[in-house]
Amino acid sequence: RKKVTIQSLYNQHATGIPITMLTAYDFPTARACEVHGIDITLVGDSLAQVCLGYDSTVNLTMTEMIHHCRAVVRGTVAPLLVADMPFGSYYTGPEDAIRSAIRMRQEGGVECLKIEGGEEIVDSVRALTTFGFPVMGHIGLLPQRHTALSGYKVQGRTAESAHTILRAALALQDAGVFALVLEAIPHQLATYITSRLRVPTIGIGAGPGTSGQVLVWDDMMSTWHGHKAKFVRHFGNVGAEVGKGIQEYVSAVRDRSFPDVKKESYEMEQGEWERLL
Ligand code: KIV
Ligand code: NA
């Protein structure tokens, strides 16, 4: 596979081929994205819930994020690699953001950063892009602010709220983001924002009018036991496959049909068993 770069992403966007992005949190999922043609592999901070069992992304530390980034980096060659800046790692301003970005680049091996927020983070985004850190924006539903939002709710359903999101999109593009995630906003708004931007938009719960789509691995592979959002489609049924595998293993151990003494066990060397006795 050819290496995906920001330039090749722009070329793809210009020819109208939708961009595919998928989360990965470890080496095997990174390899799967690599081998099966995903354009962008995202080390999403959704790993807090689906991989580490936390309540929300707010609990994920920078050290934990870096640990997972290193595993994903080892399995990624061709896809563009993007990682979320964890909760709290960029809130006090550009200096904070740059320090965190340096850690993610040097310790995590991350190529590009994703950062949640609108006009309030524009100065930090501009500082990052000025120093050559490629940044992907993330607007609409911001999971790191779920408490203030009173839950994981669709954003931008009123004209005022939609306008705030549109202004954020334009300001972030102006600050130098190379792409923008639009999460859980009405499809009309996402399509309109996409038409107003030069940079590609990647939608999740934002309808079919964006430049690409992103999903959380565990949502689309049906390994997540919790809430299923309206926008999730189960493209794989890995959860059922795992259950079937475990049940068959347990029953084979219990009825002693596993392991088979010929096919799945080892023999002494010729004559050695008799010598031992
Ligand atoms: O953390 C994540 O997985 C994300 C995507 C859903 C965009 O931010
Ligand atoms: Na995220």
Please provide the DSSP assignment of 161-227 as one string: HHHHHHHHHHHHHHTT-SEEEEES--HHHHHHHHHH-SS-EEEESS-TTSSEEEE-HHHHTT---S-
Q: Residues 200-228: what's their mean pLDDT? A: 97
Quote the pTM value: 0.97
Q: What residue owns the CA closest to ligand 1's atom 4?
A: 44
Q: Which ligand is nearest to the CA of 212?
A: 1
At residue 277 the predicted structure's pLDDT band, cuts being 50, 70 and 90, is confident
CB-CB contact of 68 with 167 (8 Å)? no
In ligand 1, the atom with minimum distance to the C-alpha of 45 is 1
Tokens in use for 255? 């009825």
Pocket test for ligand 1, best of 22, 29, 183 (most atoms within 8 A of CB): 183
* Residue extents of the structural domains in the chain: 6-236, 241-276
Q: How remote is the C-alpha of 51 from its chain's centroid?
A: 12
Q: Which ligand is nearest to the CA of 21?
A: 1
Tokens in use for 256? 């002693």
State how beta strands 80-84 and 19-23 pair: unpaired
The ipTM is: 0.99
* Distance from Cα 140 to the centre of ligand 2, integer Å: 12
Q: What residue owns the CA closest to ligand 1's atom 2?
A: 44
Any idea which residues carry the catalytic annotation? 183
Q: Is the pLDDT of residue 241 over 90?
A: yes
Architecture per CATH, domain 6-236, reads as Alpha-Beta Barrel (3.20)
